[in-house]
Amino acid sequence: MNINEAPLGILFFVLFILFLLSAFFSGSETALMSLNRYKLKHQAEKGHAGAILAQKLLSKPDRLISLILLGNNFINILITQLATLLGLRLFGDAGLAIATGILTFLLLIFGEITPKTLAAMHPERIAFIASRFYVVMMKVMWPFVWLLNLITNNLLRLFGAHSDETSRVALSHEELRTVVSSAGTHIPQTHLDMLLRVMDLESTTVEDIMIPRSQLMGLDLDDDWNELEEQIIHSNFTRLLVYRENFDNVLGFVHLRKLLPMFRDGHLERERFEASIRPAYFIPDSTPLTQQLLNFKTENRRIALVVDEYGELLGLVALEDILEEIVGEFSTTPSSQSREIRQMEDGSYWVDGAMPIRDINRELGSRFASEEANTLNGLILEYLESIPVPGMTVLIDDYPLEIRKTRNNAVKTLIIHPKIQRIRAEDDE
Three-class SS of 6-65: CCHHHHHHHHHHHHHHHHHHHHHHHHHHHCCHHHHHHHHHCCCHHHHHHHHHHCCHHHHH
Rounded-to-integer distance, Cα 296 and Cα 321, Å: 12
| 399 DSSP β-pair partners | 396
Beta strands in 118-245 (DSSP E): 211-212, 218-220, 239-244
Rounded-to-integer distance, Cα 88 and Cα 86, Å: 5
Rounded-to-integer distance, Cα 206 and Cα 211, Å: 10
Tens of pLDDT along the chain (429 residues)?
556 667 888 888 988 999 999 999 999 999 998 888 878 888 888 888 988 999 888 888 888 888 898 998 899 888 888 888 888 877 777 777 888 888 888 888 888 899 999 999 999 989 999 999 999 999 898 988 888 888 887 887 887 766 554 445 566 667 677 777 776 666 777 777 788 888 888 888 898 888 888 788 888 888 888 888 888 888 878 888 999 988 889 999 988 888 777 776 666 777 878 888 899 999 999 999 999 999 999 999 999 999 988 889 999 999 988 888 888 766 554 444 445 678 888 888 998 888 888 888 878 888 888 777 778 888 898 888 888 888 899 898 889 999 998 888 888 889 999 888 765 444 444
Cα separation values, 255 from 199, 250, 275, 336, 376, Å: 32, 15, 12, 20, 32
Rounded-to-integer distance, Cα 100 and Cα 213, Å: 82
Give all strands of the β-sheet with 349-352 in edge-to-edge order: 342-343, 349-352, 410-416, 399-407, 393-396
Question: Of 36, 38, 33, 24, which is closest to residue 65 (Cα–Cα)?
Answer: 33
